[in-house]
Copies of this chain bind each other. A is one copy, B any other.
């Protein structure tokens, strides 16, 4: 079953204690798509400028991602420069240029409007709603958001949450959105806002999956090398949604749990190298091998 993802496609410059990479492919939709394409068809909806390197479009297409919904606008591509210190969390933004994403008016291509799965990556909730309204009757809609929208567009965000099945956010966002410090209470309050499922990403500590009746705790994958954490959360979402969409016929909590595990596995590859370098060249066998190790890690 195919997935439509709306999100950013950009050019990143990233500095960590382990290196610096300039003008590499970035953006939430890029990471999401390169993770999800391991399981199913992915159609991207985004915008870039005339300066977007053709090699990056070609990279996405060669990995089977449908890029027809990436509009080439009159202006610059979104650019972000970030710097991580040794804790490899919460990068400092050195500079950011919104470019064509500053006036992004998303259009889902006609052929993608019957997609059953829709992922609305972190962006203005008004844009997320606009995309949602263009997809005819999606079976599962998942979205991400961030502290900026929780603070600055609470009404629009609430409207969006009333329309999605799954919210995928990190733990500080879950606490902020719910105004509850304890995660179990936070999850209940958030599910009362609309989503039937909540996934809380906790970086190296793994992820939590909540439904109204059930709860699952997925460990973080242990790595000996983390070069660049950028895109781990969007990769997680892509691995999760991709797996879930591939199990379209028998969706239940067990499938969602496996989706969370695959999300963690995919994210573990992303952080091993800069940008999408590791993710872009990933083989099915590598994913399955690490998934097996992941199961062993958490099995009593």
- A residues with a Cβ closer than 8 A to B are 86-88, 181-185, 202, 204-206, 208, 215-217, 219-220, 222-226, 254, 257-258, 261, 295, 297-300
A225 to chain B: which residues have CB within 8 Å? Answer: 182
A299 to chain B: which residues have CB within 8 Å? Answer: 299-300
Most chain-B Cβ atoms within 10 A of its Cβ — which of A86, A206, A217, A299?
Answer: A217
Complex CA distance for A257 and B300, rounded to whole angstroms? 6
Query: Are the CB atoms of B222 and A87 closer together than 8 Å?
Result: no
Q: Closest approach, in angstroms, between the C-beta of A260 and any C-beta of chain B?
A: 9
Given A205-B205, A217-B219, A219-B219: A226 and B182 interface contact (C-beta under 8 Å): yes
Q: Closest approach, in angstroms, between the C-beta of A257 and any C-beta of chain B?
A: 6
Complex CA distance for A86 and B186, rounded to whole angstroms? 14
Query: Are the CB atoms of B217 and A297 closer together than 8 Å?
Result: yes
Query: Are the CB atoms of A224 and B295 closer together than 8 Å?
Result: no
Given A202-B205, A205-B202, A205-B205: A298 and B217 interface contact (C-beta under 8 Å): yes
Given A217-B298, A298-B298: A184 and B222 interface contact (C-beta under 8 Å): yes
Query: Are the CB atoms of B297 and A224 closer together than 8 Å?
Result: no
Complex CA distance for A220 and B171, rounded to whole angstroms? 14
Partner pick for A224 among B88, B184, B257, B258, CB 8 A cutoff:
B184
A297 to chain B: which residues have CB within 8 Å? Answer: 215-217
Q: Closest approach, in angstroms, between the C-beta of A27 and any C-beta of chain B?
A: 26
Query: Are the CB atoms of B300 and A258 closer together than 8 Å?
Result: yes
Complex CA distance for A88 and B180, rounded to whole angstroms? 13
Q: List 12 A-B contacts (CB under 8 A).
A: A86-B181, A182-B224, A183-B204, A183-B222, A205-B205, A206-B219, A208-B222, A215-B297, A216-B298, A257-B300, A295-B300, A298-B300
A220 to chain B: which residues have CB within 8 Å? Answer: 217
